[in-house]
Structure 1
Amino acid sequence: MKKTLLLLLGISAAVLGMAQTETKTKTDWSKIDISSRSADHLMLQFGSDSWTGRPDSVRTGGFSRHFNFYFMFDKPFKSNPKFSVGLGVGIGASNMFFKNTKVDVRSNTAKLPFTNVDSADHFKKFKLTTMYLEAPVELRYYANPANPNKSWKAALGVKIGTLLKAYTKGKDLVTKNGASIYGTSYIEKESSKRFINGTMLAATARVGYGILSLDAGYQITGVLKDGAGADMHKFSIGITISGL
Structure 2
Amino acid sequence: MMKRVFAACIALAAIGSLKAQDSSKTVKKSGMFDLSNRANDHLMIQYGVSGWSAVPDSAKPGGFSRHFNIYFMLDKPFKSNPNYSLGIGAGIGSDNIFFKDKYVNLKATSSTLPFTDVSSASTNHYKKFKLTSIYFDVPVEIRYSQNPETGKGFKFAAGLKLGLLLKAYTKGKNAINSAGSSIYSGSYIMKESDKHFINSTRLAATGRIGLGHISLSGAYSITSFLKSGAGPEIRPYQIGLTFSGL
**Which TM bucket (shorter chain)?**
over 0.9
- 1:164-223 Cα deviation digits (max 9, x unpaired): 000000001001221111146210100000111111000011100111000011000001
* Matching residue of 2:207: 205
Distance 1:211 1:180 in 2: 45
Match of 1:180 in 2: 182
* Superposition TM-score, scaled by structure 1 size: 0.94
Structure 1 209/20 Cα, relative in aligned 2: closer, same or farther at 3 Å? Answer: closer
CA contact (8 A) 1:44 1:68 kept: yes
Query: Per the alignment, do residues 29 and 13 of structure 1 end up closer, same or farther by CA in structure 2, a change over 3 Å counting?
Result: farther
CA 1:183 to 1:61, structure 2 compared with 1: closer, same or farther past 3 Å? Answer: farther
In structure 2, what is the Cα distance between the partners aligned to 1:220 and 1:20?
Answer: 31
Give matches, 1:32-111, under 5 Å: 32-39=33-40, 41-111=42-112
Which secondary structure does the structure 1 equivalent of 2:43 belong to? strand
Q: Is residue 44–residue 241 contact of structure 1 (8 Å, CA) maintained in 2?
A: yes
Residue aligning to 2:244: 242
Q: Does 1:147 align with 2:150?
A: yes
1:36-70 Cα offsets, whole Å, 9 max, x none, are 11456211000001101110101311100000000
Query: Structure 2 CA distance, aligned partners of 1:184 and 1:212?
Result: 41
Q: Give the structure 1 partner of residue 135 of structure 2.
A: 132
Shift of 1:20: 5.7
Letter in 2 for 1:74: D
Distance, in Å, in 2 between the alignment partners of 1:30 and 1:108 is 64
Count of residues in correspondence between the two structures? 243
User: Which deviates more, 105-114 or 11-20?
Assistant: 11-20
Q: Determine the structure 1 residue equivalent to 2:221.
A: 219
Q: Distance in 2 between matches of 1:66 and 1:109?
A: 28
Match of 2:58, SS? coil
- Aligned counterparts of 1:15 and 1:205: Cα–Cα separation in 2: 14
Whole-angstrom CA distance in 1 between matches of 2:95 and 2:131? 8
Q: Is the 8 A contact 1:133 1:161 kept in 2?
A: yes
Distance (Å, rounded) in 1 between the aligned partners of 2:245 and 2:194: 36
Distance 2:167 2:28 in 1: 49
2:41, 2:24 → 1: CA distance?
Answer: 25
2-structure distance, mates of 1:130, 1:25: 48
After superposition, the Cα gap between the structure-2 partners of 1:30 and 1:130, relative to the gap in structure 1 and judged at 3 Å, is farther
Query: Aligned AA for 1:145?
Result: P
How far apart in 2 are the matches of 1:104 and 1:239?
Answer: 31
What residue in structure 2 maps to residue 12 of structure 1? 13
How far apart are the structure 1 equivalents of 2:5 and 2:190? 35
Residue 28 (structure 1) shift? 1.4
Aligned AA (1:14): I
How big is the shift at 1:30?
4.1
TM-score, normalised to structure 2's length?
0.93
5+ residue gaps, structure 1 = none
Alignment-mate amino acid for residue 77 of structure 1: F
Q: 1:58 & 1:118 partners in 2: Cα distance?
A: 13
The aligned amino acid for 1:214 is L
Paired with 1:130 and 1:37, the residues of 2 have a C-alpha distance of 35
Between 1:94-103 and 1:75-84, the stretch displaced more is 75-84
Q: Is this contact kept in 2: 1:29–1:82, CA < 8 A?
A: no
Aligned partners of 1:14 and 1:40: how far apart in 2? 22
- How many angstroms does 1:23 deviate by? 6.3
1:94/1:129 contact within 8 Å kept: yes
Offset from partner CA, 1:20-43 (integer Å, 9 cap, x none): 677668741643111111456211
Partner amino acid for 1:147?
Answer: T
The answer to whether the 8 Å contact 1:54/1:232 transfers is: yes
SS at match of 1:5: helix
